[in-house]
Amino acid sequence: MARVFVITGPSGVGKGTLIKHLLERVPELELSVSATTRGPRPGEEHGVHYHFLDPAEFDRRVANGAFVEHAEYSGRHYGTLREELDRRTAAGHPVVLEIEVQGARQVRTAMPEAVQIFIVPPSTDTLRQRLVGRGTDDEQQVASRLEVAVSELAAQDEFAYKVVNAELDAAVDELVDIVRREMVLA
Ligand code: 5GP
């Protein structure tokens, strides 16, 4: 069975950037494309960054058991489609899930063999700066994401691995080491 890696941590911690570099360094890894009810940001494409679903379609898929995990985050729904995961692992590809903490907990219960990695920000202030700086969320969304971030940070000790994203290259190296080590153990 191919390895499943869960990468979690608060919004704004840099999960997306770290994963982009991780995928370049470990080309056999594949990223599962999540479903969400939030709208696309500029530059985001349906089926590439997310499967953008309306709330009724999301609910229908929940009822059909289409999700491995799903959670509400800042008023929107997000979830990992079983099909996304199964197709990749069946083809022998190790898979990365980039998800928030409630989803990571559900995966821990459903798939205890998945490798769970929590990305830690150097400080809460850095998070705020990144959330404001990327300019993708309005003031209310930033406030809501920061509030969730504080409770997510409190959960970091639940995770087998923690990587502090203070310096990008060092954090990527650490992530690559974890993934390579766990792939050998699979
Ligand atoms: P964003 O709106 O910034 O793309 O994502 C908001 C949060 O939802 C991030 O913490 C992101 O990791 C998380 N997220 C993205 N996809 C999924 C998913 O499939 N399941 C869960 N539980 N969280 C997700």
Tell me the mean pLDDT per 10 residues along the chain, length 186. 93 94 97 97 95 98 98 95 96 96 97 97 90 85 90 95 97 98 86
CA–centroid distance, residue 184 to ligand 1 (Å): 28
Q: Whose CA is nearest to atom 14 of ligand 1?
A: 99
pTM: 0.94
So what's the pLDDT on residue 6? 98
Using CA positions, which residue lies closest to atom 18 of ligand 1? 79
Ligand 1 midpoint to CA 167 (Å): 23
- Ligand 1 atom nearest the C-alpha of 8 is 12
Helix (H, G, I), strand (E, B) or coil at 78: strand
Do residues 53 and 35 lie in contact, with contact meaning Cβ atoms separated by under 8 Å?
Answer: yes
Q: Which residues contact 171 (CB under 8 A, 6 or more apart)?
A: 14, 18, 119, 163, 164, 165
Ligand 1 atom with the shortest distance to the CA of 50: 16
Q: 28 C-alpha to center of ligand 1: Å?
A: 23
Residue located nearest, by CA, to atom 6 of ligand 1:
11
Residues whose CB falls within 8 Å of the CB of residue 111, separated by 6 or more in sequence, listed in order: 4, 68
Pick the residue whose CA is nearest to atom 15 on ligand 1: 99
CA of 118 to the centre of ligand 1 (A): 14
Pocket test for ligand 1, best of 7, 20, 32, 34 (most atoms within 8 A of CB): 34
Instruction: Return the best residue to mutate from 8, 33, 36 for the ligand 1 pocket (most ligand atoms within 8 A of CB).
Output: 36
Alpha-carbon distance 81 to 147, whole Å? 27
Reduced to 3 states, what is the DSSP secondary structure of residue 140?
Answer: helix
Is residue 35 helix, strand or coil? Answer: strand
Question: Which atom in ligand 1 lies closest to the alpha carbon of residue 11?
Answer: 10
User: What's the full length of the chain, in residues?
Assistant: 186
H or E element that contains 167 = none
In angstroms, the Cα distances linking 139 to 51, 58, 75, 145, 152 are 25, 26, 15, 10, 20
